[in-house]
Amino acid sequence: MIIFGTRGYVYQLAMLTLVCGQCGNPAAHSLRKYVTKFTLFFVPLFPISTKYRTQCTFCGMEQQLPKEHAEGLLAPAAAAPGGAARQEHTQG
Ligand SMILES: [Zn+2]
């Protein structure tokens, strides 16, 4: 008997300050990678699906984005930690 299936993994990649498409706030967005792996006898063998999503921490909206876009967002964050132009707002 062969037991196989899939298993999902979530990786938190970065926190990015982006302007949200829904609420319009320049809020922190968590960039996550969702990987579905093929498993055989409960051992994950290889990924069959990889998806990238951002979630707005302000309104909670999730948005899927292509891999190239996600890597483009990650590249400057890795090259220049902190960033050149940094704005912080305090509310409430
Ligand atoms: Zn939002």
In tens digits, what is the pLDDT along the chain, a chain of 92 residues?
999 999 999 999 999 999 999 999 999 999 999 999 999 999 999 999 999 999 999 999 999 999 999 999 888 655 555 544 455 566 56
| Ligand 1 centroid from CA 58, angstroms | 5
CA angle (43 as vertex; 41, 47 as ends), nearest 5? 120
Query: Who surrounds ion ligand 1 at CB < 5 A?
Result: 20, 22-23, 56, 58-59, 61
Which pLDDT score is estimated for 43? 94
Residue 60 Cα, ligand 1 centroid: separation in angstroms?
6
Q: What is the pLDDT of residue 27?
A: 95
CA distance 17 to 64: 16
DSSP 33: E
pLDDT of 83 reads 47
For residue 92, the model assigns a pLDDT of 61
For the chain, the first-to-last Cα distance in angstroms comes to: 59
Burial class for 51, CB neighbours closer than 10 Å (0-12, 13-18, 19+):
middle
